[in-house]
Structure 1
Amino acid sequence: MATKILFNSVVNWFIKQRIDQIENFKKHPLDTQNNVLFSQLMYAENTEYGKIHGFSSISNYEDFKTRVPIVTYEDFEPYIERAREGEKDVFWPGAIKQFAKSSGTTNAKSKFIPISDECLDECHLKAGKDMVSIYVNNHPENQLFVHKNLRLGGSAENYAQFNTKFGDLSAIIIENLPFWVEITTTPSKKVSLMSEWETKLLAIVDEVKNEEVSSLTGVPSWMMVLLQNVLRETGKKNVSELWPNLEVFFHGGISFKPYRDQYKKLMGKHVNYYEIYNASEGFFGIQDRAGAEDMLLMLDYGIFYEFMPMEDFGKENPRVFTLKDVEINTNYALIITTNGGLWRYLIGDTVIFTSVEPFRIKVSGRTKHYINAFGEELMIDNVENALAEACKQTNAAVLEYTGAPIFMNDKEKGAHEWIFEFSQAPENLEEFSTIFDNHLQCINSDYEAKRYKNITLNKPVIHVAKHNLFYQWLQSQGKLGGQNKVPRLSNDREYLNPILKLNQSLH
């Protein structure tokens, strides 16, 4: 124990040194971002992509914006495929050996996101250290390294192909962790890298039930599944009985709002919650204040940020801003240029700035995950807030949900249709529906206008999901565990219809 305490003290001292660097980019955000952009342009000027777009003669941001097009994955995929086949200097110097396989939230087609050495070291691994550094700085009394961190990653199937590898980002990170992280982490690398979720879940439970855990890292929905299984296996009433020294849960991937009250009950004690914003393409934000509902935008990870107002999304000549011109409370589509070789890449996420001194953000949704069938512009952030209010007033708790439009026909107006899986059903479903609808109108004026006297939209149609519906749906899609997420909103019925059909078939 004395050795662990000494190790805890030494590590804490080292990681606190990073706080000074974070404070520096908070004070000089535009200079930091300018340096990121032009160092990468210079580094990649002799790649094929750099020569095509004249990186060597770009001298200011306006040149960059004019010469380099905004791209989606589909636009950039031919370059990525060539790099996957081992070709060098396509869009980033040298050969890229590792690719993070990602299907996003819903796409059946897999994406292969390039993970260069620089991206791995200067972004993903650096962010993991920063996550801990920020927490330690805020909580000097911490005992993180006296005990272990329980990590929950995704599938780890890595395949050799064209002398390159691909697999989940979490597997790539785990394989490249420094030894000192590995000895303070559970489950073991062998178990963490298992591919089949249900087998892996049993193995994780078997390993972690006898460990002493002080922190958790993972997606809230899947971490809850794991914790519930551990409690069943050990016969403990709550997590604090099992791990009395647990002090923090680092979570990301999905909104924590629907899970907050459930975690309070599950934990049985006060635990700190820190949100992170990471994706296969990069690591973007870390909650830097205890109890806050926003995250500090991390500006020195080799990622240059641009922001497209969502009202311009899909237009032929959309406005695009750097940090210099963003405004708070405006919904932006996120565009990134990364040290993995993605250039002006439209990642598919939307963010809102809560502060510009320093730059802090909230994830508001996805460019493809919204409902705007009638001009209501309903985003995930709207729904999460309304859902939290409905749950609070009706003593309910939601595990998973999805929603989509009911399209107008000759006889009927439109509406929104929802299916909710409750861990605790509302005392009155009709009251829940009314509060949910009314709160959406309070926070979204476009939705309110369409709902006014049912002129365009009728009241929401709500279904209650049978137990484990969404788990079984994800299982049917081959998407159990890790970073896989249920699509919250869709502007069509591609996901809702099969989920409703599955719900009807369950007994």
Structure 2
Amino acid sequence: MAIFDIKLPKSIVRALKLPVDAAQRQQKIVLKRLLRKAKFTEFGQAYGFDNILMNNQSLVKEFQKNVPIYNYNSIYKEWWYKTLEGKPDICWPGKIRYYALSSGTSEAASKYIPVTNDLLRSNKIIMIKQLLSLRNYQYINFKSIGKGWLTLGGSTDLQRGAGYYAGDLSGITTKKSPFWFQPFYKPGKKIAKEKDWNKKLEEIVKKAPEWDIGFLVGVPAWTQMCMEMIIEKYHLNTIHDMWPNLEFFVHGGVNFQPYKKGFEKLLGKPLTYIETYLASEGFIAYQSHQFAEAMRLAVTGHIFFEFIPFNFENFNGEGELIGKPKALTVHEVEEGVDYALLLSTPAGAWRYLIGDTVRFVNKKRCEIIITGRTKHFLSLVGEHLSVDNMNRAIEMTSEELNISIPEFTVAGEPHGSFFAHHWYIACNQQIDKQLVANTIDKYLKKLNDDYLVERNSTLKDIYVDVLPEEIFMRFLKSLGKLGSQHKFPRVLKGSTLEEWTKFLSYGK
């Protein structure tokens, strides 16, 4: 059964026929739809959504003037806590039945992100748009689209609260996936319910010979681990010895480049890589054409986007917002500038600072790359080192030295009266760590002028420790963050750095 031949629900077909128009116009339509739907909620009444809707010509400006910017802590303390108590019509109509548990990569306590049927429906529409874009791809085996889709996601056995369920967004999405997708979905309902990540992988490895997989979907590190386990158990040369029709890898959440070299050693032939930007708060962007180096922002979908320039006028050294900076809309941004992302969604997130930073690489096509997190950057002395700088330096170092570095993290530390950067990298090969340090340093100087200046003054050195990849996974496990939704933080600060240092001293 070819997936392109499936008869889709009429509501989805209508949504897929949205006209291709200027992003500014489409975003205004999205905002108006959100405001109309939520105008009778407590939030909508408190901030005068009715009055905002009456100012059609200045709708966006009125919305920005009247509704404050929120982060998770502020919107939870003021509004979302009421929904967990079972109260309806707080930030979105009706009761919230599902919550995506998200800890990001720096927070210890779980965040409860509301998930509504409206949000899930909108996410599905964007997923189908991305799937249909494969019709424009070349040099791929389209028969693989109708094969199995192995999704390495969170458990569908959700936690039960007082009138709600909570778990990974991937588990919620799978649990509520449409009937027409069930024939393709692997590993199946029984394995999908398993909460123990190690047991889940073991069960997948057992069942692997029974499946004909065309798509792999998941975070790179865990997908690579799964393939390695299958290859080892069945004494294979590559994963294609087991699944000859494997054609696609759909990934997101982290930059794939640091994983690519090690990942491709497990393949018998090249895969088509498809990047997505699916957060707990919604489906934000997706790769819309083959070999794209960026993702298209879903401006015609369900999210109203705003962008705050990510600089030291708007954010302090801890990544916290300063004052009330001006937020730009999609037609006001510039290419090549890093922005902190604000979302308003059909789940009751309003002007919500998601914590990610993005950069437009093609404004006309609304194509972006993820450059990092507002709290994950290093600027001890003004070096302004972003996660994007780090990812690219690691990628270039891997290429030059012909090594695989699937994980890494960086911390700042004192160096006498000055400072240094301490890198921890995962590599299972024998390497000269001083050579690695020198190579990373060389490329960072090329990538970042501020870094170059500070390396000649107050940033006196960089150090590299080389660790087995297993150490990084075990640290996540020690924090209770083992699984598909959790990524290793690229920058260590505060309590997480303390936990890491303690773990390396006692936990290895």
TM bucket (normalised to shorter chain) is over 0.9
Q: Is this contact kept in 1: 2:42–2:90, CA < 8 A?
A: yes
Alignment of 1:76-475 (within 5 A): 76-78=75-77, 79-122=79-122, 124-139=123-138, 141-311=141-311, 312-313=314-315, 314-407=321-414, 411-426=416-431, 428-452=432-456, 455-475=457-477
SS at the partner of 1:254?
coil
Change (3 A) 1:413 1:347: same
CA distance in 1, matches of 2:4, 2:113: 37
Q: Is this contact kept in 2: 1:437–1:459, CA < 8 A?
A: no
Whether 2:30 is the aligned partner of 1:36: answer: yes
Change (3 A) 1:449 1:19: farther
CA distance in 1, matches of 2:4, 2:109: 46
What is the aligned residue count? 493
CA distance in 2, matches of 1:102, 1:110: 6
Name the counterpart of 2:318: none
Taking structure 2 as the reference length, what is the TM-score of the superposition? 0.92
Change (3 A) 1:209 1:374: farther
User: Which amino acid in the other structure matches residue 350 of structure 1?
Assistant: T
Gaps of 5+ in 1: none
Q: Is this contact kept in 2: 1:336–1:345, CA < 8 A?
A: yes
SS at the partner of 2:265?
helix
SS at the partner of 1:398?
coil
Deviation at 1:350, TM superposition (A): 0.2
- 1:289-316 CA-to-partner distances (Å, cap 9, x unmatched) read 2122210111122100000001123321
Name the counterpart of 2:51: 57
Q: Runs of 4 or more off by more than 4 Å in structure 1?
A: 12-15, 17-23, 504-507
SS at the partner of 2:240?
helix
SS at the partner of 1:486?
coil
SS at the partner of 2:427?
strand
User: Which amino acid in the other structure matches residue 213 of structure 1?
Assistant: I
CA distance in 1, matches of 2:251, 2:394: 20
Name the counterpart of 1:494: 495
Deviation at 1:254, TM superposition (A): 0.8
SS at the partner of 1:149?
strand
Moved more, 66-75 or 157-166: 157-166
- Alignment RMSD: 2.1
- 1:78-126 CA-to-partner distances (Å, cap 9, x unmatched) read 321211221111111111211111111231111111111100111x222
CA distance in 1, matches of 2:274, 2:17: 17
Deviation at 1:162, TM superposition (A): 2.2
Deviation at 1:499, TM superposition (A): 2.8
Change (3 A) 1:506 1:166: closer
Deviation at 1:160, TM superposition (A): 2.6
User: Which amino acid in the other structure matches residue 190 of structure 1?
Assistant: K
Deviation at 1:12, TM superposition (A): 9.5
Change (3 A) 1:12 1:400: farther
User: Which amino acid in the other structure matches residue 6 of structure 2?
Assistant: V
- 1:170-198 CA-to-partner distances (Å, cap 9, x unmatched) read 11111111122111111002211211111
CA distance in 2, matches of 1:9, 1:247: 16
SS at the partner of 1:143?
helix
Change (3 A) 1:288 1:263: same
Change (3 A) 1:170 1:11: same
Moved more, 185-194 or 333-342: 185-194
Q: Is this contact kept in 1: 2:15–2:125, CA < 8 A?
A: no
CA distance in 2, matches of 1:327, 1:343: 23
CA distance in 1, matches of 2:283, 2:188: 24
- 1:441-468 CA-to-partner distances (Å, cap 9, x unmatched) read 111111111112xx11012111111451
Q: Is this contact kept in 2: 1:473–1:499, CA < 8 A?
A: yes
Change (3 A) 1:181 1:13: closer
CA distance in 2, matches of 1:238, 1:389: 25
CA distance in 2, matches of 1:218, 1:371: 28
CA distance in 1, matches of 2:180, 2:383: 50
Deviation at 1:163, TM superposition (A): 1.3
Q: Is this contact kept in 1: 2:407–2:469, CA < 8 A?
A: no
SS at the partner of 2:299?
coil
Q: Is this contact kept in 2: 1:308–1:319, CA < 8 A?
A: yes
CA distance in 2, matches of 1:12, 1:214: 21
Name the counterpart of 1:10: 5
Deviation at 1:270, TM superposition (A): 1.1
Q: Percent identity?
A: 32
User: Which amino acid in the other structure matches residue 30 of structure 2?
Assistant: V
Gaps of 5+ in 2: 316-320
SS at the partner of 2:62?
helix
User: Which amino acid in the other structure matches residue 471 of structure 2?
Assistant: L
Deviation at 1:405, TM superposition (A): 0.5
Deviation at 1:10, TM superposition (A): 1.4
Q: Is this contact kept in 1: 2:101–2:112, CA < 8 A?
A: yes
Moved more, 396-405 or 63-72: 396-405
Taking structure 1 as the reference length, what is the TM-score of the superposition? 0.93
CA distance in 2, matches of 1:384, 1:261: 14
SS at the partner of 2:153?
coil
